[in-house]
Amino acid sequence: MDFAYGPGKNHLFVPGPTNIPEHVIRAMNRNNENHRTPAITALTKSLLDDITKIFKTTSGTPFLIPTTGTGAWESALTNTLSPGDRIVSFLIGQFSLLWIEQQKQLNFNVDVVESDWGESANLDILESKLASDKTHAIKAICIVHNETTTGVTNDLTKVRKLLDEYRHPALIIVDAVSSIGAIDLRMDEWGIDVVVTSSQKALSLPTGMGIVVASPKAIEASKSAKSLRSFFDWNGYLKFYKTGAYWPYTPSIQMLYGLRAGLDLIFEEGFENVLLRHKRLAKATRLAVEAWGLKNCCQKEEYYSASVTAIVVPPNIDSGEIVSRAWKKYNLSLGVGLNKVAGKVFRIGHVGHLNELQLLGCLAGVEMTLKDVGYPVKLGSGVGAASAYLQNNIPLIPSRI
C-alpha cells in the first residue's frame, strides 16, 4: 500500500529525512557506471574538495561512507580511540543517548554528563573534570552539536576554549548530523577534530551516506587507535586517496551525482545564505509558537536551533496525536517526541531544501491540527506572526537578482 499518495505534495517537516530537490532527484536518476573510470574519479575529487567547504575546513580529510549517521559515529570513535579510553560525553536528548550507548558497546570508558532534556551540555561539569585530569586520562569529548530531540544547539567554541584553558589534549568529536549545512560549524577555526554527518538532513539527499571529516590531529590519533575496525577503517580510504582511485569499495554512483547536484545548489544559493535561510525559517517558526501560546522545549534563547524546533504541548494534550492527525488529515509530516519527551513535544524540522512559503503551509497545518485536538488556538495567529516577520526579512532569491 503506497501511503505516500495524497493529492498535492506531502509537507515533509520532520528534522530528517528531508525534502530532496527535483534537481537532485533528476541527477540521481541514472544508470550505474564503472566507478574506476576517470569520470568518477574526477567527480569524487570534486566532491571531496567541495564537501569540506561546508565543514569550514581546509586541513580536514573527508570520508564519504556508505552508511548513516550511526555508522559515521562508529567511524569517528573507532578510528581515533582504543578500548578502555576515557571519554566525556554529554547526554541532552535521544541522539546523544544513542551515541553514548554505542560508545559503551564499543568498550570505551564513558563519563556521562547529563542535563535535563531542553538544556544544553553542562560545560561547568566538563571544566571540573578537565581541572582534575592532571594525567590527561580523558582522550575525547563527544558532543552532539544540534540535539534533534529538543532543538538545542550546543556552543562548540566553549568546549574548545575550556580545553585550551586547561591545555588539555583531548580530541573534540562532534555529531553534526542535524547541523552541518544548516547551522554554522567552523571546524578549523573552532579546533574540532572529527565532525560527522549524514546525507538525509541539511544536505537533502536520500539516506545512505555518512560523512566524516578528520583533522590532522585525528588522523594522527588513528595511527595508534586500537579499536577493532574493518569496513570503517580510514586507512582503507587513505591508501586509495594516495593512488587517486579514491574508493576502497563500490560507491553508490547515484549518490555521488546526487551529492554533486546538492552541493551545486548550496553554492549557487551561497552557503552563508543557506545558513541565513535556516535562521529565518527557525525564527518564523518560533514566532508562530509564541503566537500559539506554546513553549519551546529548548530552555535558553542562545541555544535555539536553526534546524528544528521542539514544541511543548499542555499536559492534557498528547503530542503524538498532533503528529498522527497532521499526517492523516493535512498530509503534513511532523516529528514526534522521543523517549523522555514522548507525548510531550512535537517537532517542526525546518531543515534542508525548504522555503518560506512551504513553512507557512506547515504552520497553517499545525494550527488547524492544534484546533482539531482541542487546543484553543486562533487560526491564523501563528501564520500571521511568521509571515509578518518573513515579509520583512526574505531577501530576493540570489540566482534571480
Q: How many CB atoms lie within 10 A of CB 129?
A: 20
Residue number with CB closer to ligand PLP (156 or 385): 156
Contact code string over 285-324 relative to ligand PLP, x by CB under 6 A: ----------------------------------------
The residue whose grid cell reads 567541495 is 50
Q: What share of the chain is helix, strand, coil (3-state, %, to 5)?
A: 45, 15, 40
Number of residues in contact with ligand PLP under rule CB under 6 A: 11
Q: Which of residues 89-128 bind ligand PLP (CB under 6 A)?
A: 95
Query: Is-contact 214 63, C-beta < 8 A?
Result: yes
CA distances from 263 to 30, 48, 83, 247 (A): 18, 11, 37, 20
> Taking the complex as a whole, how short is the minimal distance between the CB of residue 68 and ligand PLP, in angstroms?
3
Q: For ligand PLP, which residue of 148, 150, 319, 331 counts as binding (CB under 6 A)?
A: 148
> Taking the complex as a whole, how short is the minimal distance between the CB of residue 356 and ligand PLP, in angstroms?
23
Q: Which of residues 32-91 bind ligand PLP (CB under 6 A)?
A: 68-70
Distance (Å, whole) CA 363 – CA 375: 15
Residue number with CB closer to ligand PLP (95 or 190): 95
Distance (Å, whole) CA 234 – CA 214: 10
Residue number with CB closer to ligand PLP (144 or 291): 144
Query: Is-contact 160 188, C-beta < 8 A?
Result: no
> Taking the complex as a whole, how short is the minimal distance between the CB of residue 187 and ligand PLP, in angstroms?
17
CA 179 to chain centre: 4
Is position 333 an interface residue for ligand PLP (rule: CB under 6 A)? no
Q: Which three cell numbers stand for residue 340?
A: 523522555
> Taking the complex as a whole, how short is the minimal distance between the CB of residue 245 and ligand PLP, in angstroms?
27
Which burial class, exposed, middle or buried, applies to 87 when counting CB atoms under 10 A from its CB (0-12, 13-18, 19+)?
buried
Distance (Å, whole) CA 174 – CA 171: 10
Is position 387 an interface residue for ligand PLP (rule: CB under 6 A)? no
Q: For ligand PLP, which residue of 11, 16, 141, 312 counts as binding (CB under 6 A)?
A: 16
Give just the sign of the alpha carbon dihedral 291, 295, 297, 299: positive
Residue number with CB closer to ligand PLP (96 or 387): 96
Element holding 343 (H helix, E strand): none
Is position 198 an interface residue for ligand PLP (rule: CB under 6 A)? yes
Residues 257, 259, 260, 266: what is their CA dihedral angle, to the nearest 10 degrees? 150
Residue number with CB closer to ligand PLP (89 or 387): 89
CA 119 to chain centre: 18
Closest C-alpha among 295, 288, 279, 169 to residue 221? 169
Residue number with CB closer to ligand PLP (150 or 387): 150
Contact code string over 217-256 relative to ligand PLP, x by CB under 6 A: ----------------------------------------
Q: Which three cell numbers stand for residue 18?
A: 528531508
> Taking the complex as a whole, how short is the minimal distance between the CB of residue 73 and ligand PLP, in angstroms?
7
> Taking the complex as a whole, how short is the minimal distance between the CB of residue 200 and ligand PLP, in angstroms?
6
Q: For ligand PLP, which residue of 74, 119, 175, 184 counts as binding (CB under 6 A)?
A: 175
Query: Is-contact 319 334, C-beta < 8 A?
Result: no
Residue number with CB closer to ligand PLP (62 or 361): 62
Helix (H, G, I), strand (E, B) or coil at 173: strand
Q: Which three cell numbers stand for residue 373?
A: 485536538
Residue number with CB closer to ligand PLP (40 or 87): 87
Residue number with CB closer to ligand PLP (120 or 148): 148
Query: Is-contact 114 89, C-beta < 8 A?
Result: no
Residue least distant from ligand PLP (Cβ): 69
Residue number with CB closer to ligand PLP (200 or 285): 200
> Taking the complex as a whole, how short is the minimal distance between the CB of residue 384 and ligand PLP, in angstroms?
31
Is position 178 an interface residue for ligand PLP (rule: CB under 6 A)? yes
Write out the residues near ligand PLP by the rule CB under 6 A: 16, 68-70, 95, 144, 148, 175, 177-178, 198
